[in-house]
Amino acid sequence: MSFKELSKEQQIMVSMRKTLSSIIREITPEPGTVYPLTEETVKDIRMCLALITAREQELGAEKGLTKERPYFSDEEPKVVPITPFLRR
């Protein structure tokens, strides 16, 4: 489903999640340097991302979308069908 096909609320959720993730990536310091955010701010960002994810899942469930993950068309399925055991 493309971005334009999403409802306005879904578009807002996707935009907020991408923006927060970009900010986190940009301010993450190199190893060994001081992290610029306080622990409280980090907790708040995690809470916001969790709420966004939960609402995205609710909206997807309302539309009947499943939680399937993307896969390559030439990829082997991870679930192997079980063959019945037949006794002689």
Measured CA to CA, the distance from residue 9 to residue 16 in angstroms comes to 11
**How confident is the prediction along the chain (88 residues), in pLDDT tens digits per residue?**
677 888 899 899 999 999 999 999 999 888 888 888 999 999 999 999 999 999 998 988 888 876 666 667 777 766 666 666 666 6
Residue with tokens 């499943």: 66
What is the distance, to the nearest Å, from the Cα of residue 63 to the centroid of all Cα atoms in its chain? 17
Residue 21 near residue 50 (C-beta atoms within 8 A): no
Q: How far apart are CA 56 and CA 73, in angstroms?
A: 25
Domain assignments of the chain as residue spans, ordered by start: 1-88
